[in-house]
Chain A
């Protein structure tokens, strides 16, 4: 063996933990900046209140839960356009069972989540076996699941008796020491769990690998189809949970709820650094992305901005966020 010299060595950039933090801090700084801007702008300083924080956090729960699932799906290189419909279907199923009063309330809640899981399983199975691109598969199921929701609800809002389920999304929680609503704590706990799944488990590495390069995953002997099915099922379960929370928030089963939520959910992932081409994304970034959108809407409402202005601003934020992301990656 010849003596080793470093003549052929290319300069190798070091791994920079600081950069990784910056990747995350970009959206976080934006969130803080937006919050502070509204804080100064809203008259009487009412935006600085704990009430606002409770409102924003509670209003973020439904989108954030689904967006965690979407993060996984998008990291694996897929997309799920049917989340809004899954949320509505789960919401209606919970309301239907609560209204019937035959099953215990917890079982109704579990059924809602389970239905979401089944929807996700169906999405995943079709993506993996029919070899149709996920965009098309879930465009189809967007219609199917919404139709099922309308069918279960007989095209009407299902009114239900009050149960403990409705307390999940109380902005002022019952034991006051909770500070935030139980739904927010649930979302935080799940976010931590998902973070661990993505970063610390073999499954997490496999999800990244499938999205980063499906060919490589196949070459390494990963069961790509099974991983995709799991990812979509997990996404469906989380969307089902979102549906449960939506029911808790609305106190009724509304089959037309959550229309267009899929776009908010995707936007949250994208603002948080996710990519439509797979391989990148982070749970923390996604949560921040969801919070940015709620903060904007909430602040805009308090400023008395018309709805259209809020829509325009959120739209612009998405484009700016992705542009900044691209610039940062090009700069390396």
Chain B
């Protein structure tokens, strides 16, 4: 059931209008003259691939970021929030994907946080309680005890508290950023009821979601962002149109192809499951093969790689590595990073600065960290040898001007990523798990990394590559599997997939 369109005869200004909004982060254009509009009482879906600019746009709307250019109008009047609190006072609030509640505070204190009603500096108990109660009542949760601690509530109820917090100050526009990503099916249904109630009360709701079936259920209109531009929109109807708008880009990137042979199976993962995600992931990977794993952020792709490598403990499933114990399968839960390293596995983290690299340490330290035995004798580093090897690899990957002693934090993002990949080269692992290997780097570095991945496959290494960037998966992989809410599809040759079918599987879990 979609919310009703407003049916006023004269056309009043829309509740919210954004015009020509642009934003750059350094050399990256995040938003390029985006136009966006929300009417009173409508649920407006904002959709697009990862990195399309949805979150940036909403942060600008809610005062967390300032646009470089463009204008915003709230009920026809110019609107320039100085910060999140200012935006909240004007009636705009956002419920983030990761819930941002203080678990040690009560429901009441969370709801009025930052906007507490005070008398001479003291909290005014009765008005605060009344306001919190009223906000909860609007969500049909008036019975929620105000004094219970938020940390003890279920995820679904926490979401209600979070939305109540958004409503406590006369909310006119409410942004819900991926609100169901951590909810069970039942909680999601209840959330939809809440959303419909609010829209019936005249609140304009911006609903950000990857899940198109949800969008169809709850939203009346939609806008698609792609590469920082608003590329289309209209009344919510068939998902095919939305998918087409989301993926329909011209592939202008350059993907070098490397001639290689696909050999025997190097590793087989069977029925891998984590404590939460993945729910089920099975695939074989052959020497010389590049297996791409597509899917939405949060679908469980990163968790799968981490469980295989042993960074997080798997709950069940088995792994068989051809070169270890004659290919006998072992329990995935027994994997540990140091064991995996000795078994010929290596992993590239999606979180380059937090995990992938020790950024304060030198290029040489980072490159040799997982296999120092190659450049040491009796525990002492052979510094000359290390320098030579590091320079050799750096040259091969075109990590320009990187002297071995330079701290990695002084390099550009592209070069940092190449150093992170070099560590795997230096380690000479047989099976490489690459998580978003080209995220956030310039095109030229991307191309060089694609080429290096191709060369590694050519040398007979088995490569599993998780990416949210479809063109690169289609550009360099041999086989592709798609993850949807913790379940990995069967890997199939690239030719059996289209961008549309991948997107359909990723958003709807079907499309075979």
Contacts and interface: CB of A to CB of B under 8 A. Distances in A.
Interface of A: 1-2, 4-10, 12-15, 200-203, 205-206, 208-209, 212-213, 215-223, 279-280
Contacts of A2: 254, 444, 447
A123 B412 CA distance: 40
B380 interface: yes
A203 B455 CA distance: 32
A280 B362 CA distance: 12
Nearest to B355: A215
A221 B340 contact: yes
B183 to A, nearest CB: 28
Contacts of B372: 202, 205-206
Contacts of A205: 365, 368-369, 372, 381
Interface string B311-345: 10000000000000000000000000110111000
B445 A213 contact: no
Contacts of B140: none
Contact of B380 (A7, A14, A201, A219): A201
Given A14-B403, A205-B368, A205-B372, 20 more contacts: A1-B451, A4-B444, A5-B444, A9-B401, A9-B412, A12-B400, A12-B412, A14-B401, A15-B403, A202-B376, A212-B358, A212-B360, A213-B355, A215-B354, A216-B349, A218-B311, A219-B356, A221-B370, A279-B358, A280-B360
A200 B358 contact: no
Contacts, number: 118
B373 interface: yes
A132 to B, nearest CB: 20
Contacts of A13: 406, 410
B379 interface: yes
7 contacts: A8-B442, A12-B406, A15-B405, A202-B373, A208-B358, A219-B355, A220-B337
Interface string B284-324: 00000000000000000000000001010000000000000
B425 interface: no
A262 B6 CA distance: 70
A218 B358 contact: no
Nearest to B447: A2
A208 B406 CA distance: 15
Contacts of B365: 205, 208-209
B358 A213 contact: yes
Is chain A's interface secondary structure helix, strand, loop, or mixed overall?
loop
Interface of B: 254, 256, 309, 311, 337-338, 340-342, 347, 349, 351, 354-361, 365-366, 368-370, 372-373, 376, 379-381, 383, 398, 400-403, 405-407, 410-412, 414-415, 423, 442-445, 447, 451
A222 B338 contact: yes
Nearest to B414: A8
A64 to B, nearest CB: 25
A171 B342 CA distance: 53
A279 B357 CA distance: 13
Contacts of B357: 213, 216
B435 to A, nearest CB: 10
A220 B369 contact: yes
Contacts of A220: 337, 341, 369-370, 423
Nearest to A208: B361
B355 A216 contact: yes
Contact of B361 (A8, A202, A209): A209
Contacts of A206: 372
Nearest to A213: B358
Contact of B379 (A4, A14, A202): A202
Closest 5 CB pairs of A and B: A221-B341, A220-B370, A10-B412, A212-B358, A215-B355
Given A203-B379, A209-B365, A213-B359, A219 B402 contact: no
Scoring A10, A14, A213, A216 by chain B CB atoms within 10 A of each residue's CB, the highest score goes to A216
Scoring A9, A10, A200, A201 by chain B CB atoms within 10 A of each residue's CB, the highest score goes to A10
Contacts of A208: 358, 361, 365
Contact of B356 (A10, A201, A216): A216
A208 B361 CA distance: 8
Contacts of B380: 200-202
A223 B254 CA distance: 40
Nearest to B386: A205
Contacts of A1: 256, 447, 451
A216 B423 CA distance: 11
A4 B369 contact: no
Contacts of A216: 349, 355-358, 366, 369
A6 B400 contact: yes
B358 A8 contact: no
A200 B356 CA distance: 23
B401 to A, nearest CB: 4
A18 to B, nearest CB: 13
A222 B402 CA distance: 25
A224 B383 CA distance: 23
B400 A201 contact: no
Contacts of B400: 6, 9, 12
A4 B399 CA distance: 12
A123 B176 CA distance: 47
A221 B358 contact: no
A12 B410 contact: yes
Contacts of A201: 376, 379-381
A216 B412 CA distance: 19
Contacts of A212: 358-361
Nearest to A6: B400
Contacts of B341: 220-221
A10 B368 CA distance: 24
Contacts of A217: 358, 369
A207 B72 CA distance: 52
B370 A279 contact: no
Nearest to B382: A200
A191 B203 CA distance: 68
A139 B365 CA distance: 33
Contacts of B406: 12-15
Contacts of B401: 9, 12, 14
